[in-house]
Amino acid sequence: MPIVKLAKNIGFCAGVRRAMTIVEKTLEQRKTGIYSFGPVIHNTQVIKDLQDRNLMVARSVKGLPAGSTLILPSHGAPERILKSAAANRLKLVDVTCPNVSNLQNICKSLDKSGFDVIIIGDKAHPEVKALTGIAKKVHVIEKEPDIKKLDFSNKKIGIISQTTQNKDRFFDFVSKILKSNSLIKEVRIFNTICLDTARRQEEVKRLAKEVDVLLVIGSKFSANTKRLLNIGRKINNKTFLIESELSPVSRFIHKAGRVGLISGASAPDWLVKKIIKKIKGGV
């Protein structure tokens, strides 16, 4: 049996745990007519379980029956959704993580103070999409070539990050943005990467060096899980994604003496426990 090295930060993060507690309470109290705007968290199995308990995932607010409940996800929702929910007389339950709300407030305040907002993050991620509706001038930097396309006519820029961005990449991009144009007169930089994300990224680097095989538990749809996977793989090419108890754990850990285990922020504790049991029980 291999030695299992567990990350300290594993299972749900505080933001997801809080969101799930509120969602579960809402499902218990209201029973029917409960929708979420997109998935409340990025984990396929958890969403499936919530759907089995009557939660309906809506892509749009249009057409939802008046009086029904709309849950805003942990990664936040665009302001236009809040407005249409009010217009459609929906009851809102907001489970946006406080770290995401803080990021939204920073974005609003930069906009109010006349700064262009530069977000370092994934263009298609709902958290980033919600931010782009908050400020008048927003630029999203996902890849290095995006920096070249920046328009510095304003000369006042505020740089923020998606909460689950890669920390090293954020600081690297900040430095490249600042070097890219001498017209910039005033800069405000906010490291809005959440503490849980930063801790998991440090842990994955340490674990990847200490073990023969590193398993990252989480969904392929979860941005923070994918980042842990990429960081781990750069150090240890035997880093694998475990999406469910059906993933081929035995094949991944074959002949490994030490196995490291970490998870994305939306991987449930029960799945972590099942995977540990599988490894210890010889699978």
Which residue's Cβ has the minimum distance to ligand SF4? 15
Closest separation in Å from C-beta 279 to ligand SF4: 25
- State the helix-helix crossing angle for 195-210 and 223-235, rounded to 10 degrees: 30
What is the C-alpha separation between 136 and 111, in angstroms, rounded? Answer: 7
Q: Which is nearer to ligand SF4, 76 or 232 (CB)?
A: 76
Q: In 10 A of CB 237, how many CB atoms?
A: 9
* Residue 134 beta carbon to ligand SF4: minimum distance, rounded to whole angstroms: 16
Rounded distance between C-alpha atoms, residue 256 and residue 145, angstroms: 40
Q: Which backbone phi and psi does 89 adopt, to 5 degrees?
A: 50, 50
Is the CB of residue 42 less than 8 Å from the CB of residue 221?
A: yes
Strands lying side by side in the sheet with 239-242? 3-6, 258-263, 213-217, 239-242
**260 vs 274: CA distance, rounded Å:** 15
Cβ closer to ligand SF4: 125 or 157?
A: 125
Nearest distance, CB of residue 222 and ligand SF4, angstroms: 9
User: Judged by CB, which is closer to ligand SF4: 68, or 104?
Assistant: 104
Residue 164 CB, shortest distance to ligand SF4, in Å, is 5
Nearer to ligand SF4, 26 or 263 (CB): 263
Output 125 or 139, the one with its CB closest to ligand SF4: 125
The two beta strands, 3-6 and 91-94, are unpaired
Cα–Cα distance for residue pair 41/222, rounded to 1 Å = 8
Task: Please give the residue ranges that form the binding site for ligand SF4 (CB under 6 A).
Answer: 13-16, 74, 97, 99-100, 163-164, 194, 196-197, 224, 265
DSSP 40: S
- Which of 41, 1, 39 has its CA nearest to residue 17? 41
- CB of 155: closest distance to ligand SF4 in angstroms? 31
Active site residues: 127
Residue 95 C-beta: closest distance to ligand SF4, Å: 9
Phi, psi values for residue 25, rounded to 5°: -65, -40
- Dihedral sign, Cα of residue 178, residue 184, residue 189, residue 192: negative
Q: Which CB, 68 or 96, lies closer to ligand SF4?
A: 96
Nearest-CA neighbor of 253 among 219, 273, 281? 281
